[in-house]
Structure 1
Amino acid sequence: MKKVLLSEKIDDAGINLLKKNNFDVQVAPNTDADSMKAAIKDAYAVIMRSSKLPADVIAAGKELKIISRNGTGINNVDVDAATKQHVLVAKVNGANAFSVAEYVMTTMLSLSRRITKSDTALRAHKSELSGTSLPGFSTDYDLNGHELRGKTLAILGLGKIGQQLVTLAEAFGMNVIGYDPYIKDSPVKLYDQLTDIYPLADFLSVNMPLTPETKNMITTKELSLMKPTAYIINSARGGIINEADLADALNHDRLAGAAIDSFNPEPPAPDNPLFDSKNTILTSHIAGTTKEANAALGIGAAQAIIDFSNGKLPQFPVNPDVFDN
């Protein structure tokens, strides 16, 4: 039986699909380099989640033929090293698009309606509530938020996630604009320059991959172009927004709030400045990991290996030239 190594456990739906197709599925004992080197030696395929797969680990996979990414981003896999070793890299596109878009809407609503602030205030002043008017309490503690309707959402990256987000945001009556230099047909008005889009946004949603071009793309300079009443949501990758600069902008009221689901590095260090930034929702990389999305991702990652084993190019190859060799 061909061995499929999982760097971390994937959804049972993907594991069961592999077993049904007669693969030996094993989970690595740990994601550190030494553990992965030992476990990958006799693996035909490996499925990666968010941990890193560097060149030296790939080189240890003497039987390795395919790396399947349990997700869309591939910044954690050394694709160049895999290509040199004639190992195909595949990914799963769109399986968690709705989940990520839903996360953005959820955090925009929470920030705009001041849900967390209201919860905190109510708990902190519970002994003072008797005989008071809750609407009056809300006014006194500045808990009355805003509707999303009529606000402008700027989406950076109009791929599957971004386009799904357009649909949801427009259903709330939002004005949606976007930036994406790689697409021709867009459901919303696109801007050619990021400097033109920042000042227009009431909400800015980052839905781009982490690349050399997008790394540290949003710093103090870019944040200073935004309205002080604006909110920023990053459900993509840590490293696109400079975290220290973002925290500084939030703590000095140059931004109204933020929701951050990915960090640089990940997991975030204890001294990450976002832990102490004002009006910030921090989540543990959950945007695209609903139970429904996890099942779809696991099935997609497994299917790529099954297809490859049957001599078929997977649906979303990253280095397809390897397949021809």
Structure 2
Amino acid sequence: MYNVQVYNSIAEKGLAVLNLASYNVGNVEAADAILLRSYNLHETPIEPSVKAIARAGVGVNNIPLDELTEQGVIVFNTPGANANAVKELVLMSLIASSRNLFRAVEWTNSLQGEGETVPEQVETGKKEFVGTEIQGKRLGVIGVGAIGVLVANDATALGMEVVAYDPFISVNTAWQLSRDVQRAHSPEEIFQTCDYITMHVPLTDQTKEMLNAKTFQQMKPGMKVLNFSRGELVHEDDLKRAIEEQIIDTYITDFPNEKLLSMKNVVAIPHLGASTHESEVNCAVMAATQLKQFLETGNIQNSVNFPNVYLPYTGRRRVTVVHQNIPNMVGQITSLLASQSINIADMMNRSKGQWAYTLIDLDQDLENHDEVIEQVMKISGVRHVRVI
């Protein structure tokens, strides 16, 4: 029986993944795992019994990742589960900004109280909001992951010329990308040639404030920029100057703050990217499925702090080891098992940075598995051991 602590409201279809015959789900003691959305774990004591945490969403800023990694706790997120929701909002914003829809609706609403003159004023005033069509325009997509690939493909279907830049594109994404999407060899190619830019990259030291005074100066005047990834990707003081210099015609962001709200030509959306009923269900189901798979088989999929590891589960006794990625670690583990006359049937080891994870299937049952766990835990660099 596994105990899963649940924070936030998790979609019922997600909770249904955890078979109630094998799981205690809700507010539990001695939790084996935690399932949450935006709940802040930085201020919450985490029991030593916790082996994994699943976030029904992409960002993990609400989780003390470094501390948990050091303890050997696997942290999952759900990349791609909300991709369609974000894609639709990006495309909507792309079209709406081109047609000046945001400003036009705001102006129309200001006519309240004008009585019978409203129709006449509308006909006179609408010329101030003449827009452009996106068909035939050039869209630059920076970052072609789960969301970027959908945006790029659908934008080509709408008749746009699409060019994408991503030096780390995965093989799986490359297979999904439309052949009509052109490849950019550098971000500068997008800055210099596109009419629109949409960003779909994670926030890292390399991407922080990637749009700044230098990059704005490379852009065509009248650029429209869409940011549904992270607010910190843009240097906001430089953005303000670029708007004043008419380099940036419109900046649409899903991450409002006080400074942005005071800027002209900024459309601030209240973080609605993944806010659909379908997205919440998809994220919940994906998070619960990954948690269930890990607890029952030890396999890891979509961890943010440890490598993905999959070894088909055949029902054999399985040992899982979370450890530092240092020389001779696997050799020490296998030698210890051999010293106990334990034969290995299959094994897989994968690393991610300074951390690694090893799955070992055994040819026999373990009558003394508590003793084996204790012995493996004594190996320097091992953080967690489990027998399934």
TM exceeding 0.5: yes
SS at match of 1:17: coil
> Greater Rg, structure 1 or structure 2?
2
Find the counterpart in structure 2 of residue 96 from structure 1: 82
RMSD value over aligned CA atoms?
Answer: 2.6
Correspondent of 1:197 among 190, 195, 216: 190
**Contact map agreement 1:88 1:322 (CA 8 A) in 2:** no
SS at match of 1:209: coil
Listed as ranges, the matches of 1:236-251 within 5 Å are 236-251=229-244
**Contact map agreement 1:251 1:277 (CA 8 A) in 2:** no
Q: Equivalents in 1 of 2:185, 2:224: separation in Å? A: 21
Hey, which of these two has a bigger chunk of strand by percent? 2
CA distance 1:80–1:207, change in 2 (3 Å): same
- The yes-or-no answer on 1:179 pairing with 2:165 is yes
Find the counterpart in structure 2 of residue 132 from structure 1: 120
- Please report how far the alpha carbon of residue 96 of structure 1 lies from its aligned counterpart in structure 2 after TM superposition: 1.3
Q: Equivalents in 2 of 1:247, 1:323: separation in Å? A: 50
Q: Equivalents in 2 of 1:49, 1:15: separation in Å? A: 13
SS at match of 1:310: helix
**Contact map agreement 1:156 1:179 (CA 8 A) in 2:** yes
SS at match of 1:232: strand
Give 5+ residue unaligned stretches, structure 2. 308-355, 360-384
Percent of matched pairs sharing the same residue? 27
Per mean C-alpha deviation after superposition, the further-off stretch among 245-254 and 288-297 is: 245-254
Correspondent of 2:265 among 279, 284, 294: 279
Correspondent of 2:216 among 223, 247, 255: 223
- The yes-or-no answer on 1:152 pairing with 2:152 is no
Amino acid corresponding to residue 215 of structure 2 in structure 1: E
SS at match of 1:197: helix
Amino acid corresponding to residue 162 of structure 2 in structure 1: V
**Contact map agreement 1:21 1:306 (CA 8 A) in 2:** no
- Partner deviation per Cα, 1:240-285 (whole Å, 9 max, x = no partner): 112333234334533111211136xxxx4xxx21111112221222
Give 5+ residue unaligned stretches, structure 1. 28-38
CA distance 1:211–1:50, change in 2 (3 Å): farther
- Partner deviation per Cα, 1:70-95 (whole Å, 9 max, x = no partner): 12344554444323211112222211
Find the counterpart in structure 2 of residue 123 from structure 1: 109
Find the counterpart in structure 2 of residue 34 from structure 1: none
Per mean C-alpha deviation after superposition, the further-off stretch among 187-196 and 156-165 is: 187-196
Per mean C-alpha deviation after superposition, the further-off stretch among 185-194 and 115-124 is: 185-194
- The yes-or-no answer on 1:47 pairing with 2:16 is no
- Please report how far the alpha carbon of residue 176 of structure 1 lies from its aligned counterpart in structure 2 after TM superposition: 0.5
Higher RCO (C-alpha 8 Å, min separation 6): 1
Q: Equivalents in 1 of 2:74, 2:205: separation in Å? A: 22
Q: Equivalents in 2 of 1:43, 1:131: separation in Å? A: 63
Task: Using structure 2 for the length normalisation, give the TM-score.
Answer: 0.70
SS at match of 2:252: strand
Find the counterpart in structure 1 of residue 378 from structure 2: none
Per mean C-alpha deviation after superposition, the further-off stretch among 85-94 and 310-319 is: 310-319
- Please report how far the alpha carbon of residue 9 of structure 1 lies from its aligned counterpart in structure 2 after TM superposition: 2.3
SS at match of 2:18: helix
CA distance 1:26–1:83, change in 2 (3 Å): same
Amino acid corresponding to residue 46 of structure 1 in structure 2: I
- Please report how far the alpha carbon of residue 288 of structure 1 lies from its aligned counterpart in structure 2 after TM superposition: 1.8
Q: Equivalents in 2 of 1:205, 1:92: separation in Å? A: 21
For this pair of structures, how many residues does the alignment match? Answer: 302
Listed as ranges, the matches of 1:1-325 within 5 Å are 2-18=2-18, 20=20, 22-26=22-26, 42-50=30-38, 53-54=41-42, 60-74=46-60, 76-126=62-112, 127=114, 129-130=117-118, 132=120, 134-139=122-127, 142-183=128-169, 185=174, 187=178, 188-262=181-255, 268=257, 272-318=258-304, 319-320=306-307, 321-322=356-357, 324=359
